[in-house]
Structure 1
Amino acid sequence: MPPELAASALGLLLGAGIALLVGLLADRLGRGLGLLDHPDPAGGRKLHDRPTPLVGGFGVVGAALAALLLPGVGTGFATQWFALIIFGIFLVGLADDRFGLTAPFRFLFAGGLLFLAIVRVDDFRILFLLFAGQDRLLLMPGALGVGFTLLCLLGLLNAVNMADGKNGLVIGQALIWTAILMVRLPPEQLPLLAAIAAALLVLLLFNMRGKLFLGDSGSYGVSAIFGLLAIKAWNSGFADMRAEDIALIFALPVFDTLRLIVQRLIAGNSPFTPGRDHLHHYLHARWGWPRPLPWILALVALPNLGALLLPGSGLFWLALTAIAYLALILLATVTAPARGLPRATR
């Protein structure tokens, strides 16, 4: 058996075991650490029935950190910086879950950590872009590359955090992102991705039953993990893909975030104002939850599958994702009256 496959099997067991332990101890962890998400009064945004532990991040970040110790994972990979950044950003989210930090404070600390990684590790910095049809690299030297990479990573952090509003939504998308990166990353990172995938799958089972939420610690940790791995994939495999293929991975949450920013600014509100105007809120109001979850996951998985099967077609699939996203919004908000938001689901 190739060493990567043997290490990947260990990664699967490691990730599943850590996530299972977190899931079984979720209530104790949540109550002991003060990490509980309490339902809002009638008419509020939080519609779950009981206080729910915000501990899912312990499972996925713990699995990722433990997997860095597996044989071969560190080959050609800055494991120490990766561990430092994802753990630091996890702690920023954890502090927000526990104490309620302001958005500028969260972004300042998360941005500082990401800046360190971008400056110190070339594999975590976007050095150039190459789109379909280009015959020359678009170089991004010095401060330009650092600033653009930081903007992308902070944008992804915000998009993932805003998308985490319904059971299965971010964890389900993250499973798809893991599968895509298994193809895009060098084989040395397969054990790391196997551990992350196993942890996500186990956490999904607990999350869909309302036993735990990712929390900001989880959504921040997930965004850091996949943002850094996606840049690593680009720097390692740009000969076999184009920049739009990387953008396509995270297109759906980013599109929803961009719409919300524009919509709220036009209304004279802060982009960080909480609301019930995300894609998942519209779908929930129209069809309940989790009925629309497979539609969202298909809207992430199918275009990325198309881009993998048809190299060079990423721009087409990116445009198709945008059209399908807007069509889904219109279908949920225009074609029929809302059913209302049932209290039994998140």
Structure 2
Amino acid sequence: MSIEIIGVFLISWLSLSLVIGVIIGLIVSLSADTLGKSLRLLDWPDPKGGRKLHARPTPLVGGLAVVGATVAGLFLPDVGTGLSVIWFGLIVVGMFLVGLFDDLFELSAPFRFLFAAGLLLLAILQVPDFRLSFLYFQGQETLVILPGLLGVGFTLVCLLGFLNAVNMADGKDGLVIGQALIWTLVLMARLPAEQLPLLAAIAGSLAVLFLFNMKGKLFLGDSGSYAVSAIFGLLALHAWNHGFDAMRADDIAVIFALPVFDTIRLILHRLLSGKTPFTPGRDHLHHYLYARWGWPKPLPWVLALVALPNLGAILLPGTGLVWLGVTLAGYLALLSAATRTSPPSPSLSKGQPG
């Protein structure tokens, strides 16, 4: 089969996948109020407590669209080539359910953490492509081998850290969904061609959710943020294990650098203040941005700080460490600019869920 025929075939499946994702996103978004009420997935405003400042009870159903599009994408031809679609699907749905039960019953943080850790550990143990067995950063002469339990443990820490980063970032409209759209596009340049239709389906649903989320019509909910962290965490590991000859570990780190940098700062700040890392508060980057400029004015700046370094790392191979530094410098500059005025109130809040 000629390259031209293969290209036309791939574009056709990408277009179909995108349409499938858009349709699923529209079905969920247009029926968000009905779904939220029937499933009791509503986020109620809490203006007196300062925790939730949105104007009306808002459906927490965005995760349904993301997971629906992901599962549909797994059934597309050739997506399973090199990707363990059964384990991938099981873990994504399992993480979605953990978040769903948290949305419904407000599970304790330790329970959520342990359950999520168990699911992710299962994936790591069962699927070698979801495991880090070595690291290779730009400038290294030899691989850093992570044998046996060391690789398993390090991978689990990375996935749980990313889960925490996504959950912490999910505090303002468009923030996590917008970043997830960028992650989808970046992984399209990093994953094998067989997985591109899956990413197209995910992108279609995210694009629709972004529009409805920005209008305050729905939120991702914890079910959505848990599912998003599993989808992109596992796909990034798969991309690394199938493309390390064309990229380095720092290229993968750049993809998720911004929310991870903010999470590291929050964890260190809370530990130094004698608090647990799970302590809620209005000290996330998006809280400072909101206090300084309102929302969504700072959203394009945040998304640009995710998109531009990744674009640079793709267009200029071998510069991942440089763009990781650019992201850190941009993050610190944005945080500094946002905190020149009085910091946000320390009242417990997650702001507007994404």
What TM-score range do you get, normalising by the shorter chain? over 0.9
Per-residue deviation, 1:336? 7.3
Q: Deviation string for 1:228-275 (max 9, x for gaps)?
A: 000000001001111011011000000111111111111111111111
CA distance, structure 1, for counterparts of residue 287 and residue 249 of structure 2:
30
- Structure-2 residue corresponding to 1:334: 340
Alignment TM-score, normalising by the size of structure 1: 0.96
1:3 aligned to which of 9, 30, 37: 9
- Structure-1 residue corresponding to 2:163: 157
Alignment of 1:1-346 (within 5 A): 2-334=8-340
CA distance, structure 2, for counterparts of residue 338 and residue 48 of structure 1:
17
Per-residue deviation, 1:41? 3.0
Indicate the SS of the match to 2:189: helix
Structure 1 ranges of 4+ moved more than 3 A: 335-339, 343-346
CA distance, structure 1, for counterparts of residue 330 and residue 12 of structure 2:
40
Q: Provide closer, same or farther for how the CA distance between residues 218 and 332 of structure 1 changes in structure 2, counting only shifts above 3 A.
A: same
CA distance, structure 1, for counterparts of residue 131 and residue 188 of structure 2:
20
Q: Unpaired runs of 5+ in structure 2?
A: 1-6
Per-residue deviation, 1:345? 9.9
CA distance, structure 2, for counterparts of residue 134 and residue 144 of structure 1:
20
Indicate the SS of the match to 2:125: helix
Q: Deviation string for 1:12-39 (max 9, x for gaps)?
A: 1110011100001101111111111111
Q: Deviation string for 1:169-216 (max 9, x for gaps)?
A: 000000000000000000000000000001000000110000000000
Q: Provide closer, same or farther for how the CA distance between residues 37 and 294 of structure 1 changes in structure 2, counting only shifts above 3 A.
A: same
- Structure-1 residue corresponding to 2:4: none
Q: Unpaired runs of 5+ in structure 1?
A: none
Per-residue deviation, 1:59? 0.4
CA distance, structure 2, for counterparts of residue 75 and residue 279 of structure 1:
39
Q: Aligned letter for 2:57?
A: P
Query: Contact between 1:178 and 1:197, CA under 8 Å: does it hold in 2?
Result: yes
CA distance, structure 2, for counterparts of residue 39 and residue 238 of structure 1:
46
CA distance, structure 1, for counterparts of residue 264 and residue 43 of structure 2:
26
Query: Contact between 2:95 and 2:223, CA under 8 Å: does it hold in 1?
Result: yes
Indicate the SS of the match to 1:184: coil
Q: Provide closer, same or farther for how the CA distance between residues 221 and 337 of structure 1 changes in structure 2, counting only shifts above 3 A.
A: closer
CA distance, structure 2, for counterparts of residue 34 and residue 337 of structure 1:
35
CA distance, structure 2, for counterparts of residue 2 and residue 152 of structure 1:
37
- Of residues 268-277 and 228-237 in structure 1, the stretch that sits farther from structure 2 once superposed is 268-277
Matched pairs, number:
345
CA distance, structure 1, for counterparts of residue 274 and residue 181 of structure 2:
36
Q: Matched residues, percent identical?
A: 68
